[in-house]
Amino acid sequence: APSAVPINDDSKGSSVGWAKRSVPIIGVQTGSKTASVMGSAQGAFAHPTPGQTFRDRLKDGSLGPPMMVIPAGEFRMGSPEDEPERDGDEGPQHRVRIKNAFALGVTEVTFQEYDRFARATGRKLPKDKGWGRGKRPVIYVSWDDATAYTMWLSGQTGERYRLPTEAEWEYAARAGTTTPFSTGDCITTSQANYDGNYDYANCGAKTGVYRGETVPAGSLPANPWGLHEMHGNVWEWMADCWHDSYGGAPTDGGAWGEENNGDCSRRVVRGGAWFNFPWRLRSAVRSDRNANEADFYTGFRLARGM
């Protein structure tokens, strides 16, 4: 196997993974922590497998955003009719089978990551609303901007980066759960960034915390599959065109296009944002934006084929 060098995983602070000189850095996921892969095990991690984190090398030898390998599997997409605050576009519930493992960003794409792309390609740097850049999730990016970033990163790494499909996102957000949130029937401001002056369905969450802005990526606890800020912080662009319901939705986890009256001038966003009431952060909640719209509450997260 090619030689490997230890590299700090910026998304975890002090944790260390191993990077092949040609491609990924690997870490073994253990709950919400990442353990080191030691030298004797290098050969076993030639290709990332579910539960591992990695970072692809760019052409200049630097590392791309941290990614988590998500396992193949099945889940029920959408919300049951008796879920509190449910919207009609969250149904009908249907079984989706994700046939192949894929990778999803451990966090939302940050200003630091996006600004590098913008400078390299001569694009205008997006505004930050005075909240700061660096590790904060990038905002003021349209669907077209987000897609352009994935294409640039693909060219830099030789891998196929893209936006996640709506089904992939919900599958990973649920992380094996069937409750409104991956945290259960309730969510709190220690777990997500939203308008904490309200609780969800009188579930008993402590109220009174409203940050009023984004928090740096990775600030809040990861979900059971090691993904941070899947609930709240910023809405995230999906690959899919907008549909008013799941009637005729694909069951293979693929992106949903113009078929079944899809509106591709509008794209799906998921996850809720820093200013939303908690019910908008539920795993099943869907919304949409004009593809050319850029605002201070929408960003994106990367996906990549394996």
Q: Report how far apart the first and last C-alpha atoms of the chain are (Å, whole number).
A: 19
Q: Is the pLDDT confidence value at 7 over 50? A: no
- Tell whether 64 is covered by a domain: no
| Lowest-confidence pick of 29-38, 96-105, 156-165, 221-230 | 29-38
Residue type, 20: K
Residues of the chain with pLDDT > 90, as a percent, come to: 84
Tokens read off for 23: 């491609």
Q: DSSP letter string over 181-219? A: BTTBS---TTT-BSEETS-STT------EE--S---TT-
Binned at pLDDT 50, 70 and 90, residue 11 comes out as very low
pLDDT in tens, 172-212: 999 999 999 999 999 999 999 999 999 999 999 999 999 99
Are 182 and 66 in contact, with CB atoms under 8 Å apart? no
One domain, residues 40 and 88: no
Average pLDDT of the segment spanning 27-54: 51
Between β-strands 298-299 and 235-242, what pairing exists: parallel, antiparallel or unpaired?
Answer: parallel
How far is the C-alpha of 75 from the C-alpha of 93, rounded, in Å? 10
pLDDT at 42 > cutoff 50: no
Give, in order, the Cα–Cα distances in Å from 146 to each of 14, 114, 179, 202: 29, 9, 30, 36
Has residue 1 got a pLDDT over 70?
no
What is the distance between the alpha carbons of residues 188 and 177, in angstroms, rounded to a whole number? 17
Same domain, 190 and 283: yes
pLDDT for the residue 3: 22
Average pLDDT over every residue of 65-77: 98
User: Which CATH number does the domain housing residue 204 bear?
Assistant: 3.90.1580.10
Q: Are residues 142 and 210 in the same domain?
A: yes
In angstroms, the CA 289 to CA 137 distance is: 18
Six-digit token string for 239: 């690959």
pLDDT, residue 47, reads 76
The domain total for the chain is: 2
Burial (0-12, 13-18, 19+ Cβ within 10 Å), 134: exposed
Q: Is residue 186 part of a domain?
A: yes
User: Taking 50 as the threshold, does the pLDDT of residue 4 lie above it?
Assistant: no
User: What pLDDT, in 10s, does the model give residues 145-155?
Assistant: 999 999 999 99
In the DSSP assignment, the letter for residue 30 is E
| Residue 215 sits in the same domain as residue 127 | yes
Residues 132 and 239 occupy one common structural domain = yes
How does the average pLDDT of the chain come out, rounded? 88
Minimum mean pLDDT range among 11-25, 34-48, 172-186, 190-204: 11-25
Indicate whether 138 and 268 sit together in one domain. yes
| 38 and 109 share one domain | no
Residue 138 lies in a domain: yes
Instruction: Tell me whether residue 302 is in a domain.
Output: yes
Is 240 in the same domain as 269? yes
Task: Return d(Cα 212, Cα 297) in angstroms, integer.
Answer: 11
Residue 19 domain boundaries: 1-55
Considering the domain architecture, whether residues 49 and 183 belong to the same structural domain is answered as: no
Ranges of H-type helices in 265-305: none
Same domain, 75 and 221: yes
Q: Is the pLDDT of residue 35 over 90?
A: no
What percentage of residues in the chain have a pLDDT greater than 70? Answer: 85
Quote the pLDDT of residue 46. 57
pLDDT the model gives residue 34? 35
CA 256/CA 262 separation, integer angstroms: 8
Tell me whether residue 62 is in a domain. no
25 neighbors 19 (Cβ within 8 angstroms): yes
Q: CA 240, 243, 76, 196 torsion: positive or negative? A: positive
- How far from 247 is each of 93, 165, 250, 282, CA to CA, in Å? 9, 17, 9, 20
Report the DSSP beta bridge partners of residue 28. 35, 52
Res. 14: pLDDT tops 70:
no
The answer to whether residue 61 is domain-embedded is no
- Asked if 269 contacts 240 with a C-beta cutoff of 8 angstroms, the reply is no
Are 162 and 224 members of one domain?
yes
Quick one: 7 and 132 in the same domain? Answer: no
Whether residue 65 lies inside any domain: the answer is no
pLDDT category of residue 48 using cuts at 50, 70 and 90: confident
**Which tokens is 71 given?**
């396992």
| Residues 100-121 pLDDT 10s | 999 999 999 999 999 999 999 9
